[in-house]
Amino acid sequence: MPPCFPAPPCGGKEADRKRRQRMRKNTIDIITLGCSKNLVDSERLIRQLELNGYRVTHDSEDPRGEIAVVNTCGFIGDAKEESINMILEMGARKREGKLRKLYVMGCLSERYLADLEGELPEVDRFYGKFNWTSLLADLGKQYHPECADERRITTPPHYAYLKISEGCDRHCSYCAIPIITGRHRSRPMQDILAEVRALVARGVKEIQVIAQELTYYGVDLYHERRIAQLVEAIAEVPGVEWVRLHYAYPADFPMELLRVMREHHNICRYLDIALQHISDGVLAAMRRNVTSKQTYGLIEKIRAEVPGIHLRTTLMVGHPGETEEDFQELLRFVKWARFERMGAFAYSEEEGTYSARHYRDDIPQEVKEARLDKLMRLQQAISAEVQEDKVGKTLRVIIDRQEGDYFVGRTEFDSPEVDPEVLIHADGGLDLPVGSFQWVRIDSADDFDLYGHRVATPAERVPPTREEHKNDQ
C-alpha cells in the first residue's frame, strides 16, 4: 500500500487560487520511464494531445502542467519500483493542489491494472500499453486515426527511434514481456518506410530501429523473416545517413542481414544482440533455444561478415540453477568474445513467468551481486582496451549537443544514452552544429569516453570501410 500523503496545506481560498495559478492551464506533462519503445508510445500520445490543442512537456525537470501522464515500465523489480515512486510523487503533487488530473499508462499498468487501481486511488485512471488512446476520450477530446503514426520527436532532432513491431513470441523463462505485450505483431513494411521518409523530411539523419525481437520481423505478416529486406529498404531511403539495429535474438539468426549490413555504408557496424548466457545448462533452463556452440559460431560469423562491427550484448547472472562452474564458463566466454559494449543484470523472479512457476530462486542475493560485480569488472577492463585502441584513429562523429567546454557526439559504434561518447573541446571559435557529421581524430580515451579534435579529412579510418573490404576480396 502507498504511504499516506500529507494533507493539503492550509491557507484558504487565496492559497488555493495561487496554487492553481502555478499550474499551466491546458498543459500536460508526460513522464516516460523504461525503454525506447515506451518513448515512441509517448511521442505518439504527445502528437495526439497537440492536435487537440494541448501544450505538452516531456520529462520536464519542473512539471507544472494541470495534468500529468506517467508512462510506466514493468520489466524487472528496479523498473517497477521506479515507476511506482514516480506515480507516488505525482500523486503527492495532486494532493497538494499542484496537479488537477493524474493518469498512468504503459507496461506496469498493463500488467497490474487491477492491483494498482485498488492501491493508488489518487490516480484518476489507469491505461495499459495499448489502450492509451482512451485517455483522449476521458479528456473529452478526439483521437485522430489519420495521424496514428505521427509523433512529436523528443530526442535531438537528428535521430529518432523507429518501432517496427510489438510483442514477442519468445518465451524465455525469466521474461515477463510476452505477458505484458502479447504476441509478436509486425508493422507493414510500407507503413514503416512511409514513417522513415517522413522522419527524414523533418531532418532526422539517424534511424534507431527497435523491436522487442528484431530478427522475427515479418513472420506474422509475410510468413517469413523479412528483417534483411526491411533494413535494406530503410538504408536506401534518400537522406538516411545512419541505420542502427537494436535487440536481435541469437536463435535462428537471419544471416542475410549480415550481407545487408556489409554492403550498405549507412548501416552502422553495430548490433545489439542479447545473449544472456553461454552455459548449455543455463541456456536450456532459460529456454533460449540456442546452444553454446551455436553462440560461439554466430559471433565468429558476425565478425567475419561485417568487419569492424561493435557488438552490444546483455548477460544475466544468478538464474535458478546457475552453478559456480556455469558462471566461470560465462567469464571465459566474455574474455573470448571481447564485447565492445556489454550490460548485465542479476536475475530477479517475476511473477507469472516460466521461472517463477517452475524454478526455485535458489541463489542467494549476495552471490548474485558478487557474480555481477566480477563480470562487470572484467567487462570494464575490456571496454577500456577497446576505447584505448581507438586513440590515434580518425572516426566519423555525429554531434549530439554542446555541454560546457565540449561538443559531445557519437561514432557509428555508439547508441545514444547507453554507449560511450566523443568529446571535442570547443576552443578557438570552433563551431560544430548539432546534428552535423564531423571527422574527429581521437587523442585520448577513458573507460567511458573518447577525446579528440576535429580534422578536415578522414586521413585514417578504422576499421576499413565496406568498400575497402570488398576491394580486398
At 38, the pLDDT band (50, 70, 90 cuts) reads very high
Instruction: Please write down the long-range contacts of 281-285, taking CB distance under 8 Å and 24 or more positions apart.
Output: 281/321, 281/323, 281/326, 282/319, 282/321, 282/322, 282/326, 285/173, 285/319, 285/320, 285/321, 285/359
At 456, the pLDDT band (50, 70, 90 cuts) reads confident
Is residue 473 predicted with pLDDT exceeding 50? no
Residue 168 in contact with residue 83, Cβ under 8 Å?
A: no
Is residue 460 predicted with pLDDT exceeding 50? no
Is residue 17 predicted with pLDDT exceeding 70? no
3-state DSSP helix/strand/coil percent for the chain, to nearest 5?
A: 40, 25, 40
* 47/50 Cα distance (integer angstroms): 5
Comparing 71-85, 237-251, 271-285, 328-342, which segment has the lowest mean pLDDT?
71-85
Mean pLDDT across the stretch 53-57?
94
* 215/226 Cα distance (integer angstroms): 8
Mean pLDDT across the stretch 237-265?
97
Mean pLDDT across the stretch 286-290?
98
Domains of the chain: 12-146 (3.40.50.12160), 150-388 (3.80.30.20), 394-469 (2.40.50.140)
The pLDDT assigned to 2 comes to: 33
Q: Which helix (H) or strand (E) element contains residue 272?
A: strand 267-273
Comparing 123-127, 227-231, 282-286, which segment has the lowest mean pLDDT?
123-127
The pLDDT assigned to 63 comes to: 87
Which residue reads 558462471 in cell numbers? 327
Report pTM: 0.88
Percentage of the chain beyond pLDDT 90 is: 79
Mean pLDDT across the stretch 411-440?
94
The pLDDT assigned to 11 comes to: 46
Residue 422 in contact with residue 395, Cβ under 8 Å?
A: yes
The pLDDT assigned to 66 comes to: 94
* pLDDT tens string 77-134: 788 889 999 999 999 999 999 999 999 999 999 888 888 888 889 999 999 888 888 9
The pLDDT assigned to 23 comes to: 62
**CB burial of residue 81 (10 Å; 0-12, 13-18, 19+):** exposed
The pLDDT assigned to 458 comes to: 63
At 472, the pLDDT band (50, 70, 90 cuts) reads very low
The pLDDT assigned to 117 comes to: 87
The pLDDT assigned to 309 comes to: 97
The β-bridge relationship of strands 185-186 and 165-166 is: antiparallel
The pLDDT assigned to 114 comes to: 85
The pLDDT assigned to 10 comes to: 38
Residue 105 in contact with residue 71, Cβ under 8 Å?
A: yes
* pLDDT tens string 337-394: 999 999 999 999 999 999 999 999 999 999 999 999 999 999 999 999 999 999 999 9
- Residue 268 C-alpha cell reads as 552502422
8-state DSSP, 462? S
Which residue reads 510506466 in cell numbers? 72
Identity of residue 359? Y
The pLDDT assigned to 5 comes to: 28
The pLDDT assigned to 21 comes to: 47
The pLDDT assigned to 43 comes to: 96
Q: What average pLDDT does the structure give for the chain?
A: 90
